[in-house]
Structure 1
């Protein structure tokens, strides 16, 4: 398994279960243990975990023409749990229309909503919010699972703005409606946000899947941390589809680390100076995410042979779509000043207040820090008669799926403005959810230690900027409801005075960034299709013994926050692998002439 991210930990835990016939599983994670960073567990501290921290890959995009030629931070989790350990914990599981679209474009009906819904319920453990308030009318418990590994809960400790959001819905029926539960497969409207939080602490794939597996003392599951995979090695090229069962990796200067001892593994390990080669006997599963997965594939000779030749990388499997089709959500946290005497902004300025709240969380897992900073969320469509449809086809999955999102939060947030030293603020983040722009992941060099070139192509189409402008205007209209009278003081900072379409577009291009949801760079297509990278069973086209299980396989970017979708992918992949035992298996592998390495034990 490569690495121990959102999907990787699910696969490792499921394949090492006593009932599985795949007896030995090794998980290789480039980052440190999630237990090394106590802040990860604090829900309200999500905003401090990225970018440019020890638990982030600290990527930066290439210059974005749609963002007025700015490059932007591009956070990805670099720690056990991956981005599930560093994200904002929003829990969505998608719209029925989009799962049905996945089924249609892959030619596999088992990706439909009706087939996926039981998996969703098997993952969830609906839990009380941190403040244990009565959630009647805020969620429909019958739509959710209660005994799965991932604890999910509604927001605890509602802010000043939450009640006003729902009052404004009643006052503006022509603009928006209330959605009691977005887990129904119909997400449109505004409702209470579910988060991957249980008992006042973050739930990541590391805590939900990996920790319980390790706690069970499974001798067939081992986890390497601080260990970076540098490429995949073909171990048998005798057939048209080469087998990729070799993994080359190295360990960080911070120390060679293992969360448990390697015991009785059916792997062959070779040393290569500071590198090591490990050859699996069953298969290799790549779950490095929409940025690192295509990078590793290309470094390993899987990709566009013409592009690989530019870096003197031998083409072993010519798959031109590797790294192409990158899709992401564009985020813009629009800020207003509000009339309150206290808000979460105070915690960032008052050390004593923060320490008191930290003590409350540490001792009781209650208080403001025990809940996500994100409040209610909403999903919307631009009108069917919008002028943009004169030149653009609707990119969404259907009439019950969104084009843009609102996130409400009573806190200052900005990607480009400094933190204010006084006052109190709220945001309505307008996020583009159904982009028509397509970007790419390409190699910067043949070195695995050089970050790839990341081009999400944000706001790089007429539809995308049109929709973002419409979303900001809709947010402005929403705040004209009487519920906000005397509470909202005005637009703040770079948003102040922005009213016309031209001003809104300029403001958006100058201040927008990413919601951190890259996808689709190793996308699925039907078996036998000449396009795409993976098959509906996660196997990589033109290869043997290799699968990809992460957000890169989605043909289209998820139309909500993708964390929940990725758990679904991973659970489905684990079931497929266990049912088939392996995509391909080799008997007692013997090194070929290309494996000129001296056999050695890995020193842990």
Structure 2
């Protein structure tokens, strides 16, 4: 998403280095073909599961990763270089959404990490947990109180390690220390590089406090308001599940990690309690390579993500029997919900030309980038410790909004949000190159509680063919309304006095657009925040819908669980990595029985 051609040169630097010990390249290097647990995918959730299972030295764990090592990948270490990792690189699965009718038929890339750490190694590192009402609704939908916020928030202590920001500034008033842990696994921090617009943002929360109140810390469970971003960055470097959870257990005798191992299907190994058992896992390094099968004594945990997981299940004969028959796949478990219920947060950039400093000039200057890289390499400080934003906030429409006269409120609760505001001090438009001159401000309006749903389905029975991925973005009246109102809201945000001497004019849209002009702008420029969920949705054990039960076991099958973002039946009020970490922490406790 960074527009600079100078930054694209860094891809030449970002080459995978040698693997760390006990991370293997070839199946013949493994200790055997049978393990207690096999984890499919070393992403955000998979590495949590592997690490927690490996804490018990009696457990023998194999992690299968389709991609490469994260070692030596500069773009996955330097926070500001994150957008160089996707799309169209060796670090990305390079999926695309199907042409979206409500977005002028555009084909939109959907970034998914294809290296150790998965998407936690390529995302933009925003790290917050969402609304308490997300978890309480999850508990209500599943009938399992263990998913409620009162229980789930205890996993924060196990997960996070809050550390000082890279610049060491005084963080008083920017977060609430009592809500956080300093003894967990994953380092996270407040912004480590201040921007000239920071003071303007905070001033706006004071002047326009009724619409844009300041929120000191969303970890309280209350997401409403705007505050300082918290990111999976520690000591000026990205914190991924690979650099934290997995790194903590690699080298132990009870953990093997295999790269270049794309799982092609789960193998039926018998039946238990009248259910087909899937304790075999078949994988290969590519379409021309021979397959290898490994076996789990206890369980297979599929953590391949909201796209990869339903594809693997369907290839294994777990899914809608009509869809499977159409691809000449024998159905072992008729589970129609597999791949259905796909939803994603929708991103809409709103750009203004500004007078004064922004990061655009830096991004156009190879010498400045080179100097900044030298500073980062020397002491992990400077502009390169910056993510895409220092501030974000969550907001909801009033109860009296006209849309609610005909459509029920889709938020997860009465204090949950409808949309998100992300503030960036440079040109940030996915797929659109930055202007060659000028300084810009980007205010992203993101749809947080969409009602549109789509699906992931097989394109063929070839496991190396990408599946068909259609989130059906903006197909509902609410979703269209929400982004239209989001555009109006960000304009009100800039009406504060703090911006009067800074903002010049909007870009790509009229100064006072009509609703029709806003809708046209949305169709032309909206894309994704890369937060797909829902394709292996959790539901009560006996419910006729859903893919996994509240214990995350695949319904109608034995020996296999799903642990990743796909189990969320709806989108949480958060960038999805932190909620996924909490789900994985609880899943590990369920599997181990603690």
Pairing of 1:429-448 with structure 2 (within 5 A): 429-448=444-463
Give the whole-Å Cα distance in 1 for the aligned partners of 2:489 and 2:166: 32
Could you tell me how far apart the structure 2 residues matched to 1:482 and 1:497 are?
18
Q: Secondary structure at the match of 1:170?
A: helix
Displacement of 1:555: 1.3
Report the Cα distance in structure 2 between the residues aligned to 1:413 and 1:192, rounded to whole angstroms: 19
Aligned partner of 2:259 in structure 1 is: 225
In the alignment, is the contact (CA less than 8 A) between 1:498 and 1:507 conserved in 2? no
Structure 2 Cα separation of the partners of residues 143 and 411 of structure 1 = 32
Could you tell me how far 1:273 is from its partner in structure 2?
6.9
**Is 1:9 aligned with 2:47?**
yes
Query: Is the counterpart of residue 45 in structure 1 residue 81 in structure 2?
Result: yes
Equivalent residues of 1:498, 1:504 under 8 A apart: no
Measured against aligned partners, the alpha-carbon deviations of 1:254-309 in whole angstroms (never above 9, x if no partner) come to xxxxxxxxxxxxxxxxxx97111112211110000001100000000000001100
1:241 matches 2:275: yes
Distance 1:230 1:171, change over 3 A: same
**TM-score if structure 2 supplies the norm length?**
0.92
Pick one of 15, 19, 24 that aligns with 2:60: 24
- Given the alignment, which residue of 323, 331, 340 partners 2:347? 331
Give the whole-Å Cα distance in 2 for the aligned partners of 1:368 and 1:157: 6
1:476 pairs, out of 482, 488, 491, with: 491
Question: Bigger shift: 31-40 or 198-207?
Answer: 31-40
Equivalent residues in 2 for 1:31-180 (5 A)?
Answer: 31-180=67-216
Q: What are the residue-to-residue correspondences of 1:252-291 with 2, within 5 Å? A: 252=286, 274-291=290-307
- Aligned residue for 2:40, secondary structure, equals coil
2:332 counterpart residue number? 316
Residues 411-450 of structure 1: per-residue CA shift (max 9 Å, x gap): 1111242221111111110000000001100111111111
CA distance in 1, matches of 2:467, 2:345: 19
Separation in 2, partners of 1:360, 1:497: 40
| 1:347-367 deviation per Cα after TM superposition (whole angstroms, max 9, x unaligned) | 321111000000000110000
Structure 1 distance, partners of 2:49, 2:150, is: 23
Give me the whole-angstrom Cα distance separating, in 2, the residues matched to 1:571 and 1:459.
33
Count of residue pairs brought into register by the alignment: 556
Deviation track 1:40-89 (CA, whole Å, cap 9, x = no partner) reads 10011111111111111001111111212212111111110000000000
Residue 527 (structure 1) aligns with? 541
Match of 1:374 among 382, 386, 389: 389
How far did residue 252 of structure 1 move?
A: 4.5
Alignment of 1:393-408 (within 5 A): 393-408=408-423
Q: Secondary structure at the match of 1:362?
A: helix
Contact residue 335 and residue 495 of structure 1 kept, 8 A? no
Q: Matches of 1:47 and 1:497 in 2, distance apart? A: 30
Q: CA deviation at 1:404?
A: 0.2
Aligned-partner Cα distance in 2 for 1:172–1:346: 30
Of 586, 589, 592, which residue of structure 2 is paired with 1:572? 586
Secondary structure of 1:104's partner?
A: helix
CA offset at residue 238 of structure 1? 6.8
Pair 1:502-2:536 in alignment: no
- Note the C-alpha offset of 1:36: 3.9
SS in 1 for 2:247: helix
What is the match of residue 425 of structure 1? 440
- Check the 8 A contact 1:130/1:370 in 2, yes or no: yes
- Following superposition, the deviation at residue 120 of structure 1 comes to 1.5
1:385 aligns with 2:400: yes
Distance, in Å, in 1 between the alignment partners of 2:77 and 2:100 is: 33
For residue 561 of structure 2, what is the aligned residue in structure 1? 547
Tell me whether 464-473 or 115-124 shows the greater mean CA deviation. Answer: 115-124
CA distance in 2, matches of 1:211, 1:99: 29
Give the superposition deviation at 1:127. Answer: 0.7
Instruction: Provide the C-alpha distance between the structure 2 equivalents of 1:309 and 1:336, rounded to a whole number of angstroms.
Output: 51
Distance in 1, matches of 2:365 and 2:553, equals: 52
Q: Deviations over 1:183-206 (max 9, x none)?
A: 100010000000000000000000
CA contact 2:130–2:221 (8 Å) conserved in 1: yes
User: For the Cα contact (< 8 Å) 2:131–2:572, is it kept in 1?
Assistant: no
Give the corresponding residue for 1:264: none
- The question of whether the paired residues in 2 share the 8 Å contact of 1:287 and 1:549 is answered with yes
Deviations 1:353-409 (A, max 9, x none): 000000000110000101212120010001111111122111111111100000001
Q: Output the aligned Cα RMSD.
A: 1.4
1:552 Cα deviation after fit: 0.5
Scaled by the length of structure 1, the TM-score of the pair is 0.90
Distance 1:412 1:357 in 2: 19
Contact 2:97 2:108 in 1 (8 A): yes
Which structure 1 residue ranges, 5 or more long, are not aligned? 254-271, 581-604
Are the aligned partners of 2:223 and 2:573 in contact in 1 as well (CA < 8 Å)? Answer: no
Q: 1:4 to 1:273 in 2, by over 3 A?
A: closer
Of residues 311, 325, 330 in structure 2, which corresponds to 1:295? 311
User: CA–CA distance in 2 between the matches of 1:399 and 1:85?
Assistant: 34
